[in-house]
Chain A
Amino acid sequence: MNKTLNQKAWLFVIPVFILVAFNAVVPLMTVVNYAFQETFGNNVFTWEGTRWFKQILRSERFHAALGRQFLFTGIILFIQIPLGVAIALTMPKKGIGVSICLVLMSMPLLIPWNVVGAMWNIFALPQIGFLGHTLNAMGFDYNFTQQIGDAWFTTVLMDVWHWTSLVVLLSYAGLRSIQPPYYQAAEIDGASRWAVFRHIELPKMKKVLTIAILLRFMDSFMIYTEPFVLTGGGPGNATAFLSIDLVKMALGQFDLGPAAAMSLIYFFIVLLVCWVFYNLMMRNEGQS
């Protein structure tokens, strides 16, 4: 059979190519462009090599923001993953309760992020907010706009409220996919509740939990809108996470070169952590 050579089909790819180019390739390459050059406007650029990267990597401000970012992500993962699994384990498995729980669990996920920030801002205001007022009435000296600890507490609480549901829903799906004979066999083997969790439920949830941790890592590491609306990065720079700091540098100070370099470093950190984590979790999966 003779095949006729016809490359016209490539034309069909053009719309996708244009779309991807405009929403990903062009902006990213622009950032790369800024990261290696200096500009004073008028489209005049001078080559700077790796200067901005060295500057960012040596900057104490960046170290501090990165530290805050890892601390925040660490805290919320440490709370949300166990809490999400625990809630999924206690959710009903059949009946009307299933739908009620699922709807209740989905609610926080459906609220726009800036609305979440605004809601919690009002909720936590020391004088008039329900949370702030209650805590003060109970004798705690609570003011998230002034005290670093309170600002962190509120930000973490807000993120737990907003995102634990995602872990719950994923874990619940994982739990429901476990076939009844596993539980029956464990019952006959005389396994304790803890052993059932440790040797059946947890291993069977491994894949969904990996996805949950990855999603929560990425989203919390790139968090911007909610703390921006809630605390604006304050008090001082106490809750200025990487993205908030980045926006300050790029749009507040108009340091385009260092901001672009920081963006790329930021991007590579997210990519690297995800890659390492995913490969660690999946290293034994190939055998089975």
Chain B
Amino acid sequence: MSKITLENLSHSYLNKQNSDSDWALRNIDLDWKDGGAYALLGPSGCGKTTLLNIISGLLNPTKGKILFDGKDITSLSPVERNIAQIFQFPVIYDTMTVYDNLAFPLKNRGMSDGEIDSRVKEIAEMLELTSTLNNRASGLTADGKQKISLGRGLVRANVHVIMFDEPLTVIDPHLKWILRSKLKELHQKINRTMIYVTHDQTEALTFADQVVVMHEGQIVQTGTPVELFEKPKHTFVGHFIGSPGMNIIPCKLNNGIAVIDGIKIETGSLIKKNGFTKTEIGIRPEFVSFSKDGIPVKILKVNNTGRHKIIDTECKSGKIKVLTHSSHDIPSGSAHLTFDKKFTYAYGDSWIIE
């Protein structure tokens, strides 16, 4: 159990780096509190697995430092770091029984048989594996095997951090939900730092207290699920989180006031900076409503999802999605839209202008 700090961490799989795109990770700075539940969220190829492997010690970073409790551990091996990692695909030792699989990390560290036995039984109880303890591990289903992988990660009592690399990829949807709540429950029970890597926003938002969103090797925002939803710091976060994602509409800046199609848009905070090459307004479909005046739009399509209606509209500058309760009446043909000022943000070169 410890605090994890990443200092100016960069990694490249190439020997020479000519441009930003040659880096898998760029200038990562992070502070993770002891005992927190964190999620690393981002699309495939954004560098989240690379970051995880650097924390666990399977990879050596090209630049930067990793600290556990303020102690530099960058040059230590995974065993010396004392961490646990669970992989995307279940890794089990085919030749062993379920019991021996769970006991393996403890045996390798020379624990006594008595200690091993009580520890294994405790973990098996938590994961509901007690009845299959003496079975051969190779005969189990995918979710049973992944439970063993989880168990091997949880079985050591003193690890600094437990890391999950998209652990539910191969699990059936209905079991995913069960295993995920199980993990959440385990986190509360054992109160260990956990890092959960995923590209699935639902998984990240339900599991973690703090979500780190990654994009092209960089951290674009760290925050609680609510913060990420209500105030995305980067257009990527707005777009990636939420269903449907945030509307991003090109705008002009006139003396600190955003203008779309000649209509002034009020934003939550004043725009003091300028000189951007690209300026945009971001507004979530939840905070857009129909009104008498505002931005004139054409209505393209209405999708009814049951509880909500998602309306695709188009103004001169681009498309805007509107989300309303399904009982609301939708004007047809053309309409006007207004944005909730509190949740309207201006973005300069994709980053929020504050």
Contacts and interface: CB of A to CB of B under 8 A. Distances in A.
B43 interface: no
B58 interface: yes
B139 A190 contact: no
Contacts of B96: 199
B152 interface: yes
Give the dominant DSSP class at A's interface: helix
A181 B79 CA distance: 15
A110 interface: no
B95 interface: yes
A4 to B, nearest CB: 47
B95 A181 contact: no
B83 interface: yes
A187 interface: yes
A199 B91 CA distance: 11
B91 A182 contact: yes
A200 B137 CA distance: 13
Q: In the complex, which of the residues A179, A184, A185, A198 has the most CB atoms of chain B within 10 Å of its own CB atom?
A: A185
A185 B91 contact: yes
Nearest to A189: B105
Contacts, number: 61
Contacts of A195: 108
Contacts of A200: 93
A188 B77 CA distance: 9
Interface string A188-228: 11111001001110111000000000000000000000000
A203 B95 contact: yes
Contact of A188 (B83, B93, B138): B83
A187 to B, nearest CB: 5
Contacts of B85: 184-185, 188
Interface in B127-151: 136, 138-139, 149
Nearest to A195: B108
B78 interface: yes
B79 A192 contact: no
Interface in B48-92: 53, 56, 58, 77-79, 83-85, 87-89, 91
Contact of A287 (B87, B91, B136, B149): B136
A181 B104 contact: no
Contacts of A188: 56, 58, 78-79, 83-85, 105
B56 A181 contact: no
B20 interface: no
A160 to B, nearest CB: 29
A30 interface: no
Interface string A266-288: 00000000000000000010011
Contact of A187 (B78, B93, B109, B138): B78
A288 B105 contact: no
B79 A287 contact: no
Contact of A190 (B109, B136, B138): B109
Contacts of A181: 87-89, 91
Contacts of A287: 136, 138-139
B127 to A, nearest CB: 17
B107 to A, nearest CB: 9
A189 B136 contact: no
Nearest to B58: A184
B185 interface: no
Interface string A102-142: 00000000000000000000000000000000000000000
A191 B56 contact: no
5 contacts: A181-B87, A184-B87, A185-B87, A199-B95, A287-B136
Given A189-B105, A190-B105, A287-B139, 8 more contacts: A181-B88, A188-B58, A188-B78, A189-B104, A195-B108, A199-B94, A199-B95, A203-B93
